[in-house]
Amino acid sequence: MLETSGSRYAPDHFTGKSLMPLARGETPSNWRQSICFQCDGVELYYTQRAITTKQSKYIFNGFDFDELYNLKTDPHELINLARNPEYNTIKSDLCKELWTFASTVDDTPISSYITVGLAPNRPRNVYE
């Protein structure tokens, strides 16, 4: 249920936040620096998870090639940098943030899907 009284526009259990402060020209001090999302595909074979920041976008694709894009120099996401060793630190940092977000919203990052277990910087790293 959408609450419209006072300054709350979305229940606390939603992972998204109200855009009303932006509409008023304000930027909240606790505004997120990234967006995490997922697609469960057919539920049996793969889970695709992604994280986007102002600078980068990383997509974990299960049994397909992962993707990493520099959104500043490649806004149309044409050059996949995921297999380039020069970007391993960026990829590692984004993976850790992605799995950390999943764990903070009770999204089971350690699932029975084998593809999640094959993810670089596996979800278990969040708990180590």
More confident residue, 124 or 34: 34
Please provide the distance, in angstroms rounded to a whole number, between the alpha carbons at the two ends of the chain.
37
The answer to whether the beta carbons of residues 1 and 9 sit under 8 Å apart is: no
pLDDT tens digits for 15-27?
A: 677 778 888 998 8
Q: What is the mean pLDDT of residues 7-36?
A: 74
pTM of the model: 0.68
**Domain CATH number, residue 42:** 3.30.1120.10
Confidence of residue 45 (pLDDT cuts 50, 70, 90): low
CB-neighbour burial class of residue 98 (10 A; exposed 0-12, middle 13-18, buried 19+): buried
Rounded CA gap, 109 and 102, in Å?
Answer: 6
Task: Judge whether 66 lies within some domain.
Answer: yes
Task: Judge whether 3 lies within some domain.
Answer: no
pLDDT tens digits for 70-88?
A: 999 999 999 999 999 999 9
Domain count, the chain: 1
Task: Judge whether 11 lies within some domain.
Answer: no
109 is in which domain, residue-wise? 32-122
